[in-house]
């Protein structure tokens, strides 16, 4: 049997040749993402804006219009209903009520809904988040992402050099901002599972970038007279098969979760799918080409090797 090959062996794709176009596109993505954050904002879920989510299942096909009319009569403000999965499954979202506490307010809303709908429906899930808790979650989520990026920069600085660390961090920032852009542009629900997906994307992108950097460092020591641009192209082509294979196998699992996993994890799986795609792109077209822009040269590698050799000679 012949082995499956997603990428031909010994590819010679000139990645560095198109680095200016790729970096220009990445800059546009980041700028637009920042603009959307401060103008359009996000469609925050219950986790971040507070409120109550009730998942119900009706005995027959759900009548959304009838359910909406009955719940609007309760005087609970904006009530959102969404059918998902089967025709019998409905997700009810009710915003934070004025003067609502973190605990009692949520229970009061659930009691009113149950009293109105009665025993004709099955209550599968109930979640309530108060306004004070939601504000703390926003701050904690932002801090978690920033700490993750800072920790990755410190690791790469220690493992390689600060130039590699900067390239890796710019790649991660690009991936996070691209994902944020999509959520803000299409007003997809942004909740705690989305933050979990962003943190996972940070780790995935960093792992992919480290593989490329490690091969690049090996080639810097192996080919001492090769042009730096050619060396970067060589390193990217040598790791391309591994990069594509890892991304495709991960995407297959995520697509299965997105299609069959249900509404609860849909925002997480969508963020992961998009993040894997942009993470693969950034490992090739952001992290590596940035090294050319910030002045990495072969002299650094030679100097480091000479320094280590001198240190060994002194000990000897």
pLDDT tens for residues 278-300? Answer: 988 988 888 888 887 776 655 55
Place of tokens 């705690």: 192
Identify the domain boundary among 129, 149, 182: 129
In a domain, 9, yes or no: no
In a domain, 309, yes or no: no
Residues 74 and 182 in one domain: no
Taking residues 68-82, report their average pLDDT.
80
What per-residue confidence (pLDDT) applies to 315?
46
Residues 97 and 30 in one domain: no
Place of tokens 């009710």: 94
What per-residue confidence (pLDDT) applies to 204?
87
Q: 316: pLDDT confidence band, cut at 50, 70 and 90?
A: very low
For the chain, state the CA radius of gyration: 25
300 and 27 Cβ atoms separated by less than 8 Å: no
Domain span at residue 177? Answer: 16-43+134-301
CA pair distance 240, 12, nearest whole angstrom: 10
Tokens for 225, please give them. 């007279």
Residues 143 and 95 in one domain: no
Lowest-pLDDT range, 62-66, 85-89, 173-177, 244-248?
A: 85-89
Taking residues 168-173, report their average pLDDT.
88
Residues 98 and 225 in one domain: no
DSSP label of 17: G
175 and 282 Cβ atoms separated by less than 8 Å: yes
3 state SS of 96: coil
């Amino acid at each position: 049997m012949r082995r499956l090959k997603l990428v031909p062996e010994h590819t010679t794709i000139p990645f560095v040749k198109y680095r200016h176009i790729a970096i220009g596109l990445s800059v546009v993505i980041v700028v637009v993402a920042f603009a959307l954050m401060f103008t359009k904002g996000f469609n925050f879920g219950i986790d971040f804006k507070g409120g109550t989510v009730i998942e119900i299942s009706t005995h027959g096909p759900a009548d959304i219009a009838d359910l909406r009319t009955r719940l609007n009569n309760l005087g609970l403000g904006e009530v959102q209903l969404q059918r998902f999965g089967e025709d019998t499954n409905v997700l009810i979202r009710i915003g934070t009520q004025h003067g609502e506490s973190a605990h009692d307010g949520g229970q009061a809303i659930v009691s009113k809904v149950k009293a109105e709908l009665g025993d004709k429906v099955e209550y599968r899930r109930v979640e309530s988040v108060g306004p004070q808790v939601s504000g703390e979650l926003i701050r904690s989520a932002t801090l978690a992402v920033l700490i993750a990026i800072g920790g990755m920069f410190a690791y790469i600085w220690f493992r390689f050099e600060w130039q590699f660390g900067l390239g890796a961090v710019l790649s991660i920032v690009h991936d996070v901002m691209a994902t944020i852009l999509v959520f803000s542009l299409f007003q997809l629900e942004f909740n705690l599972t989305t933050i979990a997906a962003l943190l996972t994307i940070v780790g995935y992108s960093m792992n992919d970038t480290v593989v490329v950097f490690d091969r690049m460092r090996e080639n810097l020591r192996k080919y001492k007279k090769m042009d730096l641009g050619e060396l970067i192209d060589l390193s990217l082509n040598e790791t391309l098969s591994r990069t594509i294979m890892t991304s495709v196998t991960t995407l297959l699992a995520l697509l299965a979760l997105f299609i069959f996993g249900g509404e609860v994890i849909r925002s997480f799986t969508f963020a992961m799918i998009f993040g894997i795609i942009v993470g693969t792109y950034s490992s090739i077209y952001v992290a590596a080409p940035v090294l050319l822009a910030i002045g990495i040269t072969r002299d650094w590698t030679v100097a480091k090797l000479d320094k280590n050799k001198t240190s060994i000679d002194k000990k000897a």
